[in-house]
Structure 1
Amino acid sequence: MLDANLKSQLKTYLEKVTQPFEIVASLDDGAKSQELFGLLEEISSLSDKITLHSDGQASRKPSFAINRPGEDTGVVFAGIPMGHEFTSLVLALLQVGGHPPKTSEEVLDQIRALDGEMLFETYYSLSCQNCPDVVQALNLMAIFNPKVRHVAIDGALFQDEVEAREIMSVPSIYLNGKPFDQGRMTLEQILGKVDTGAAEREAKKLSEKAAFDTLVIGGGPAGAAAAIYSARKGINTGLAAGRFGGQVADTMGIENFISVSHTEGPKMVSALEEHVKEYEVDVMNLQTATVFKAADPDGGLHEIAFESGATLKSKTLVLATGARWREMNVPGEQAYRNKGVAYCPHCDGPLYKGKRVAVIGGGNSGVEAAIDLAGIVSHVTLVEFMGEMRADAVLQKKLKSLPNVDIILNAQSTEVTGDGSRVNGLNYIDRTSDEHKAIALEGIFVQIGLVPNTEWLKGSPIEMTPRGEIIVDAHGMTSVPGVFAAGDVTTVPYKQIVIAMGEGAKASLGAFDYLIRN
């Protein structure tokens, strides 16, 4: 299964292993078991520290555990972890084999201190770019705490479990047999949920920090660029974000970022994070801003309060909180969110294999989603409010060539319907005839643009448009002196990563100029 280049790279990685370990496979007579065993044989042949056994007795087949001799580490993969999960497999091999993770000792100590038996089960899809973060975090917890176990399960391979548990979104995480959470989560977020005192301790620690010269709110491309350019000036810089990477972490393909013809969102987020860490930036994750208090006009500090209870102060601010996917805002959407209503076709598409789905939106994102889903599901209906699609002509041509796609224009979605546990249809009004119509389906993928993350600023002196975008001048400064903004959260047109980065750099330079003049 591994080509020569991949084998060579993996062999190099496995040279970092410092202690022997074993792979224990649980197999049946099926083709997937044979495929998995072939992969494991290739891997074990690359290092004399790996022993392969095929006598595992796990109930899920095919699956395999990665253990140290005489020790059950609690790391199990149910399925064949290729695609986005191959990195998770490699990291598990290295970490069980003694290679230290790139995680602070403080966080590792927090993992070791967790008490109580915890069995995590994560359902993933091989095309999900958000799933590896969860799988890798829970594997690490299992490796460093004997009371924690983790099974990573390929939902497409274990469809009976997916159906029984009514899983319609990945990653879906269970703890001791009960739903724990859904969607992308970092190690810090998971620890925050299981270690109930962690958030309070962190909030207290943050509130005691000295005031920053420049504090960046948001960790997407604009926020990362702002932090780097600020730190390069040698001033005290902080960055607080709900999650580092923002929207980009949920983006599958990124094309034509100047000098990089193609990359993926998670890869870019990792590179951004590493770049920020090269400078003296105080990065504070899991911090969602809730209140802004402007400095007194005669001097003083701006203050930001966070959902965690922490407060931070700074002489200047760069607001880069970005945007999120726009919702339909129709009855049934929230009730069936992650129960048939989804926003990431790459992540959740494989769970709808053989089913009927709709894509809401005829822009590039919607048409691309419909094209991708058409190769997985039985039928796609693209629903567009306007009388024509706005996607690029080449995408429209491709979409119209697909035999299992219908396109409905001039359609106003009015309701998501369901049976109480999952979606079963979409109601809409034909805007040309005012006729009420319905589509029977099992999934709805919403792709209708972005909404700026500025609800927390309502009522503040910062001027915004009716859409909630922050109004900025040519230097990125808002209506409040010393407060700057950048990226998708602002009025700057064309919401693109490359533009957000430039605006972030400009805003931080504007903040520095403000500091030296005041």
Structure 2
Amino acid sequence: MLDANMKQQLGTYLQNIVNPIEITVSVNNSDKSNELLELATEIQALNSDKITLSVNENPQGRAPQMSVGPKGEQARVNFAGIPMGHEFTSLVLALLQAGGHPSKAAQETLEQIKNLDTELNFEVYISLSCHNCPDVVQAINLMAVLNPKVTATMIDGGVFPDEVEQRNVMAVPSLYVNGEHFGQGRMTLDEILNKVDTGASDKQAAALSEKDPYDVLIVGGGPAGAAAAIYAARKGIRTGIVAERFGGQVADTMAIENFISVKATDGPKMVANLEQHVLDYDVDIMKTQRAARIEKKELVEVELENGAVLKSKTIILATGARWREMNVPGEQEYKGKGVAYCPHCDGPLFKGKKTAVIGGGNSGIEAAIDLAGLVEHVTVLEFSDTLRADDVLVKKAKSLPNVTIIKNAMTTEVLGDGERVNGLTYTDRTTDESHTVELAGIFVQIGLVPNSEFLKDAIELTDRGEIVIDQHGRTSMDGVFAAGDVTNVPFKQIIISMGAGATAALGAFDYLIRN
């Protein structure tokens, strides 16, 4: 299962295990069971002094499954399937944490986990190609390690298709708590914790409202917000970031090959590096918080959705953008039930089925190419009479036998049986004829919409909802600056957002010294 290089690296990590742990592998007669047992055997051999391996040949529950826990205790962390691919890191962290190696999570977060007083049985359905899934898996695993009332189980949908069918899982990660659907898509530890910890929101709102005013407060934690925070903090002024999640849209991006000086990376790695760089400075980071209102008084005030009010001499708005939706009948009803926005994450759930991609830009054509290797057929629907994707991508897509590209196609409705998608309708814009396409999944790739709704009537926006800024990043509200994809800059690129964040921070600093 593991090559020599992986064994060497893993062996080094496993030396950090402080207390003995036990791995239990529940097996059946399947090939996957043999693979999982082989993986567990190789892991145990890398630190036989601290790792014990046992095999359960008559499991009452899921098999194949690997359970990890301190030796002598009931294991509370489970991997149903083979935790390789993106989930290999989740397995390594579970081994280390079960063995007493400390987590890097904030101390207040760790204490909040330990103080949970409710029985919580987490189950998360994943695909090994999903880059968002490990965040959820690692979050619930840590909660299970720290609190004896919590259990966590990762379930590979490809290994347990009957469960996926029974629970109608059509997007990953899909999280269940005590048998009930809890959430879907990328979720951070803080988001999950705050949702299960009743009363956490009120406590946070009270604590946030008591914070002293900032010199610069950045709203948003993507590339623009991170760059603004670093530039502001380097000026020695009181700096804070408030964001729903750190990284923003970049966290959902896989291949990044146009960030100058970095030949190739991916979104999660870039986000981790961004956050670490910000943490190197004296910046107050407030996560899992969404802005609801902004108002200019003696200072600029930002009200959060939980009711907290933060005050600052200057504000930098860097709230970014989100996937644009089709806004057709059926889209909301079947979101997560066949309507998806991340082909890389959810594509494996549609293996052997017919799918559609909405949008003929780079993201749409790339999605079609990726899906073509998994699904029975991909239909690309492009509203315009031309494809906006790069020629090399278009040529590749057209060369694939199971990809059909339809231009001048206006999607009009998502069809379903009440439980899941089974088709869509579109109108041929050249003939006005309506057509129906039978399919199981629809991947929407039609661009971005700015996260600026809370600014309406407070700050000047374009007709597309973008914040209007000048060359210094200034907005129409005194003391308020903006940067990144939420603004009216013509090109939405990571490197441009970072530069804009730096510009806004320097503009805010100049405002401070002049006022």
Question: 1:58 deviation in Å?
Answer: 4.7
Give structure 2 stretches of 5+ with no counterpart: none
- Matched residue, 1:452: 450
1:45 aligned partner: 45
Q: CA deviation at 1:183?
A: 0.9
**Cα separation, 2, equivalents of 1:105 and 1:506:** 34
Asked whether 1:345 is paired with 2:335, we answer no
Give the secondary-structure state (helix, strand or coil) at the position aligned to 2:470.
Answer: coil
Structure 2 match to 1:496: 493
> Are 1:468 and 2:443 matched, yes or no?
no
Alignment correspondent of 2:513: 516
- The residue type equivalent to 1:164 in the other structure is Q
Tell me the residue number matched to 1:385. Answer: 383
Instruction: Determine the structure 2 residue equivalent to 1:4.
Output: 4
Q: Does the aligned pair in 1 maintain the 2:296–2:478 contact within 8 Å?
A: no
What's the secondary structure of 2:485's corresponding residue?
A: helix
Deviation at 1:196, TM superposition (A): 1.1
Shift of 1:256: 2.1
Q: Which residue of 2 aligns with 1:36?
A: 36
Which residue number in structure 1 is paired with residue 410 of structure 2?
A: 412
Q: Give the Cα–Cα distance (whole angstroms) in 2 for the partners of residues 466 and 516 of structure 1.
A: 33
**Residues in 1 aligned to 2:118 and 2:454: alpha-carbon distance in whole angstroms:** 37
Checking the alignment, whether the CA contact within 8 Å between 1:73 and 1:146 is kept in structure 2 is: no
Q: Once the 2 structures are TM-superposed, how far is the Cα of residue 253 of structure 1 from its aligned partner?
A: 1.4
Post-superposition Cα deviations, 1:29-84, rounded to whole Å, max 9, x if no partner, equal 11111111111111111112111111262521111101212201310000011111
Determine if contact 2:473/2:481 at 8 Å carries over to the other structure.
yes
The more displaced of 346-355 and 249-258 is 249-258
Aligned counterparts of 1:232 and 1:67: Cα–Cα separation in 2: 43
SS at 2:357 equivalent: strand
For 1:54, the equivalent position in structure 2 comes to 55
Residue 104 of structure 1 and its aligned partner are, at CA, apart by: 2.1
Contact 1:14 1:94 in 2 (8 A): yes
Asked if structure 2 preserves the Cα contact closer than 8 Å seen for 1:73 and 1:142, the reply is no
The question of whether the paired residues in 2 share the 8 Å contact of 1:26 and 1:58 is answered with no
The secondary structure found in structure 2 opposite 1:260 is: coil
* Aligned counterpart for 2:86 among listed residues 79, 84, 87: 84
Q: Which residue of 1 aligns with 2:394?
A: 396
Equivalent position amino acid for 2:481 in 1: F
The count of aligned residue pairs is: 513
Q: Give the Cα separation in 2 of the matches to 1:431 and 1:275.
A: 49
- SS of 1:258's partner is coil
Contact 1:222–1:502 (CA under 8 A) maintained in structure 2: yes
Partner residue, 2:482: 485
SS of corresponding position for 1:54: strand
Structure 1 match to 2:65: 63
**1:238-270 C-alpha deviation (Å, 9 max, x unpaired):** 100011111011112111211111111111111
Residues 119/9 of structure 1: CA separation in 2 closer, same or farther (3 Å cut): same
- The residue that corresponds to 1:109 in the other structure is 111
Counterpart-to-counterpart distance in 2, 1:455 and 1:190: 25
Q: Which residue of 1 aligns with 2:24?
A: 24
8 A Cα contact 1:44 1:52, kept in partner: yes
* 1:106 Cα offset (Å): 1.5
Question: Deviation per CA, 1:383-407, whole angstroms, max 9, x where unpaired?
Answer: 0001111100000011011111111
Percent identity for Structure 1 against Structure 2: 65
Give the 3 Å change call, closer, same or farther, for CA 58–89 of structure 1 in structure 2. Answer: farther
- Asked if structure 2 preserves the Cα contact closer than 8 Å seen for 1:384 and 1:409, the reply is yes
Contact 2:241–2:283 (CA under 8 A) maintained in structure 1: yes
**Residues 411 and 426 in structure 2, CA contact (< 8 A), matched pair in contact too:** yes
| Greater alpha carbon shift after TM alignment, 196-205 vs 1-10 | 1-10
Amino acid at match of 2:39: L
Displacement of 1:463 = 1.2
Partner of 1:222: 224
- Matched letter for residue 480 of structure 1: M
Displacement of 1:116 in angstroms is: 2.1
Q: Is the 8 A contact 1:413 1:429 kept in 2?
A: yes
Cα separation, 1, equivalents of 2:160 and 2:479: 54
Report the counterpart of residue 156 of structure 1 in structure 2.
158
1:121 counterpart = 2:123 = yes
Rounded Cα–Cα distance in structure 1 between residues aligned with 2:10 and 2:141: 19
Using the size of structure 2 for normalisation, the TM-score is 0.99
Gaps of 5+ in 1: none
| 1:282 matched residue in structure 2 | 284
SS in 1 for 2:336: coil
- For residues 332 and 294 of structure 1, what CA distance do their matches in structure 2 show? 40
Which stretches of structure 1, 4 residues or more, deviate above 3 A after TM superposition?
A: none
SS at match of 1:38: helix
Q: Aligned Cα RMSD in Å? A: 0.9
Task: For 1:237 and 1:10, locate their aligned partners in 2 and report how far apart those are by CA, in whole Å.
Answer: 39
Q: 2-side partners of 1:128 and 1:252: how far apart?
A: 10
Question: Retained in 1: the 8 A contact 2:129–2:345?
Answer: yes
Residue 168 of structure 1 contacts residue 338 of structure 1 at CA under 8 Å; is this kept in 2? yes
Structure 1 residue 109: deviation in Å? Answer: 1.3
For residue 108 of structure 1, report the CA deviation from its aligned partner: 1.3
Matched letter for residue 430 of structure 2: T
Residues in 2 aligned to 1:14 and 1:310: alpha-carbon distance in whole angstroms: 43
Structure 1 distance, partners of 2:71, 2:442, is 47
* Residue in structure 2 matched with residue 430 of structure 1 by the alignment: 428
